[in-house]
A and B are shown apart, each in its own frame.
Chain A
Amino acid sequence: MYRSHVLCCGGTGCTSSGSAKIIEEFEKEIAATGLTEEVKVVKTGCFGLCALGPVVIVYPEGSFYSRVKPEDVKEIVDEHLLKGRIVKRLLYTETVVEDKIKSLDETDFYKKQKRVALRNCGVIDPEDINEYIAYDGYMALGKVLTEMTPEDVIETLKVSGLRGRGGAGFPTWLKWNFAKAQPPGQKYVCCNADEGDPGAFMDRSVLEGDPHSVLEAMAIAGYTIGASQGYIYVRAEYPIAVKRLEIALNQAREMGFLGKNIFETGFDFDIDIRLGAGAFVCGEETALMTSIEGHRGEPRPRPPFPAVKGLFGKPSILNNVETWANIPQIILNGPEWFASMGTEKSKGTKVFALGGKIHNTGLVEVPMGTTLREIVEEIGGGCPNGKKFKAAQTGGPSGGCIPASLIDTEIDYDNLIAIGSMMGSGGLIVMDEDNCMVDIAKFFLEFTVDESCGKCTPCRIGTKRLYEMLDRITRGEGKMEDLDKMEELCYYIKENALCGLGQTAPNPVLSTLKYFRDEYEAHVKEKRCPAGVCKHLLQYQIVADKCKGCTLCARNCPVGAIAGTVKNPHVIDQSKCIKCGACIEKCKFGAIVRK
């Protein structure tokens, strides 16, 4: 027994801010003070508050130390672990109210959260199966194999109302039921961990923080549909997740939770890992399966649906990581418990990766139906530097931008679709007044043009034409009729593209056209970018009153566009200016403005 546990986040966010070094220091200092027998250092998954990384929590007190530096470790060991005096200076400021220390659950960031899929992340050591077992791990699998029929499992999922967390929100039970209804024979269970949506990292956190929950759920699915083999398709860009999955697989096999004759019920199931190689389209289910088969990851027309003819031509189901992580809890706590959270048609919780112009970047898990305002303002702490919230983008390249006027929307699958966005995998990027919405639409289209697999024409050529029109607009060369043309093309692509990537690719354009048409018009009619982002539309000007004539800007202009004599106001020649911004950086008097 240890009297204290030091939990250090070993997720990608904190690892990037140097948590490996912190863990090393803790082990060194704890050994040096002779506390090795009393204090245990645990490398966990993500706590969620990535903005404050590297994060360390010391239990039993639950002291939450943020932005810990290697040189702080000695102080924590000497003061807190040795003498029992919490190092207030290093605590997350939100947890310190005057002289009292609040529990983490009372802070704005955690207060409204409800952790189901992330329940073990930041709590257990993901590289030790015993810790997972201690938190009821593999109990759901045991229950399913010994007490439930496949029909019971399907019924449980149906009552729970669980819908796929990967984007489209298809009812999970229905998908499983289709595959189960196929004649017995080789079937496959697949896990989609190809989290390609830029700015989304919830699946990665589950894999890094709680890999066994995914393995357990996949085995449950194998039993339900009659499959003996599973595949996890994971991005190669997630080295930590891949490593922990491999460790988890080996431990599960050793303990007999995977392999032959699981729980001595005669049920066989095993899982292999397949690495993705950087293609966004492989998040689409048929493309993912084509990729596992070793080909270019191009989607196939549906029907036949994968549940009938999927991986290697056999009936297959594919669910995303977060969906899997919910399943053991639904089995253990009962479907009614799960269905008691959320809205009428969207049950349970949803994990969002909160990023962009927001204070508390990180992972949050909230019940479905939480409003965007609660997420952005209360949990996220609003936009930094007193800037005004302009829009939130959900669903990545397939989603849309939600304007400030709709901030009170309750977030669930159907509401998001209704306002022209979608849930997607859960990326939630906040934008403030300094972001240009035309530029953002162009950014997403550039992404889809790049990632389109090229198989169908509407997507391959349509997105390219959309991008070109957006590019012209940001250069000030757009015409008003382009806006209507773009809209028409968007609907054409949506209706005709082969797969989900193409069908949703126009969403960023459509939603910005709908909610931020004035910005488009300013670009087209006035040749002006209201947010001051689009380079070609910017003008640098010198305010004569403020200019002291120091000549610094003229000397630093790389193209000689600034003229003027000493101690007299300078002038920028707009025809020569390349808008590099060197002058504005150098000016000591704030005399140069960007318009």
Chain B
Amino acid sequence: MANTKTVVPFTGTAEQEQRLQKVIEEHKGQKGALMPVLQGAQEIYGYLPIEVQKMISLGLDIPLEEIYGVATFYSQFTLNPKGQYKISVCLGTACYVKGSGDIFQRLQEKLGIQSGMCTPDGKFSLDACRCVGACGLAPVLMVNDEVYGRLTVDDVDTILAKYQ
């Protein structure tokens, strides 16, 4: 599993911590509270560094080991921050048979990063995802919430240029 260690220094603010404590308070004592709290925390911080996991561990009274286990099990949770523009290329079956593998390859070359990484300037991060459910438009990629469909390898440059 990639990126199971936080590599970026933690820069959380007091305001973020307050919001996190509120989320913890809301779910404390509920059955199965950990997942909703982790999801809330990732929304606040954008990722789940070890510092945040420790706060959740104290707040919910769940061992850190268990929290780390859950945070690294699910692909939606990330221990490292994402770029300003999150690019996810769908490698679901429908997109794959229509050539999304080549598009992903081109993006890796263009950005000079591998899947799950972020460019050094923090601008772009690249991930492969499994089906955004827009199979009718295959192959697709997403930049943040914007969906680009019916792509060819040549469209990669134009799309990247929009965000440069």
Interaction A to B:
yes
Interface-forming stretch among A24-32, A105-113, A172-180, A351-359? A351-359
Given A236-B76, A275-B35, CB of A198 within 8 Å of CB of B92: yes
Determine how close the nearest CB of chain B comes to the CB of A236; give it in whole angstroms.
Answer: 6
A170 CB within 8 Å of chain B: no
**Distance of A199 Cα from B97 Cα, bound (Å):** 10
- Please name the residue on chain A nearest to B60 by beta carbon: A294
Contact B32 A50, beta carbon cutoff 8 Å: no
Determine how close the nearest CB of chain A comes to the CB of B40; give it in whole angstroms.
Answer: 10
8 contacts between A and B (CB under 8 A): A17-B147, A277-B38, A297-B74, A355-B93, A355-B94, A356-B93, A429-B93, A447-B130
Most buried by A among B66, B96, B136, B149: B136
Q: Point out the residues of chain B lying under 8 angstroms from A12, CB to CB.
A: 132-134
Given A198-B92, A429-B93, CB of A362 within 8 Å of CB of B98: no
Q: Point out the residues of chain A lying under 8 angstroms from B162, CB to CB.
A: none
**Binary contact track A262-290/B, C-beta < 8 Å → 1, others 0:** 00000000000011111110000000000
- Please name the residue on chain B nearest to A297 by beta carbon: B73
B140 CB within 8 Å of chain A: yes
Given A199-B131, A447-B130, CB of A294 within 8 Å of CB of B35: yes
B138 CB within 8 Å of chain A: yes
A393 CB within 8 Å of chain B: yes
B70 CB within 8 Å of chain A: yes
**Distance of A200 Cα from B90 Cα, bound (Å):** 13
Given A278-B75, A296-B69, A297-B73, CB of A237 within 8 Å of CB of B133: yes
A59 CB within 8 Å of chain B: no
Determine how close the nearest CB of chain B comes to the CB of A459; give it in whole angstroms.
Answer: 15
Most buried by A among B39, B91, B135: B135
Most buried by B among A197, A199, A393: A199
5 additional contacts, CB 8 Å, given A198-B96, A275-B39, A294-B32? A50-B137, A199-B131, A276-B74, A393-B93, A429-B97
**Distance of A274 Cα from B129 Cα, bound (Å):** 21
A396 CB within 8 Å of chain B: yes
Contact A13 B133, beta carbon cutoff 8 Å: yes
Q: Point out the residues of chain A lying under 8 angstroms from B130, CB to CB.
A: 196, 198, 278, 280, 447
**Distance of A280 Cα from B131 Cα, bound (Å):** 11
Determine how close the nearest CB of chain A comes to the CB of B89; give it in whole angstroms.
Answer: 12
A295 CB within 8 Å of chain B: yes
- Please name the residue on chain B nearest to A239 by beta carbon: B145
**Distance of A50 Cα from B73 Cα, bound (Å):** 33
Contact B73 A296, beta carbon cutoff 8 Å: yes
**Binary contact track A447-491/B, C-beta < 8 Å → 1, others 0:** 100000100000000000000000000000000000000000000
Contact B74 A312, beta carbon cutoff 8 Å: no
Q: Point out the residues of chain A lying under 8 angstroms from B140, CB to CB.
A: 16
A291 CB within 8 Å of chain B: yes
A293 CB within 8 Å of chain B: yes
- Please name the residue on chain B nearest to A450 by beta carbon: B75
Q: Which of B107-164 contact A (CB under 8 A)?
A: 129-138, 140, 147, 149
Q: State the B residues within 8 Å of A (CB).
A: 31-36, 38-39, 66, 69-70, 73-77, 90-98, 129-138, 140, 147, 149
- Please name the residue on chain A nearest to B91 by beta carbon: A198
Given A431-B97, A435-B97, CB of A199 within 8 Å of CB of B135: yes
Contact B135 A50, beta carbon cutoff 8 Å: yes
Determine how close the nearest CB of chain B comes to the CB of A443; give it in whole angstroms.
Answer: 6
A361 CB within 8 Å of chain B: yes
Contact A16 B93, beta carbon cutoff 8 Å: no
- Please name the residue on chain B nearest to A432 by beta carbon: B97
Q: Which of A422-444 contact B (CB under 8 A)?
A: 427, 429-431, 435, 440, 443-444
Contact of A279 among B74, B94, B129, B136 (CB under 8 A): B74
Contact A279 B73, beta carbon cutoff 8 Å: yes
Contact of B74 among A50, A277, A355, A447 (CB under 8 A): A277
**Distance of A49 Cα from B96 Cα, bound (Å):** 20
Contact A50 B70, beta carbon cutoff 8 Å: no
Determine how close the nearest CB of chain B comes to the CB of A169; give it in whole angstroms.
Answer: 21
A238 CB within 8 Å of chain B: yes
Q: Point out the residues of chain A lying under 8 angstroms from B31, CB to CB.
A: 293-294, 312
Contact B93 A361, beta carbon cutoff 8 Å: no
Given A277-B75, A277-B76, A279-B75, CB of A201 within 8 Å of CB of B33: no
Q: Point out the residues of chain A lying under 8 angstroms from B136, CB to CB.
A: 13, 49-51, 53, 355, 361-362
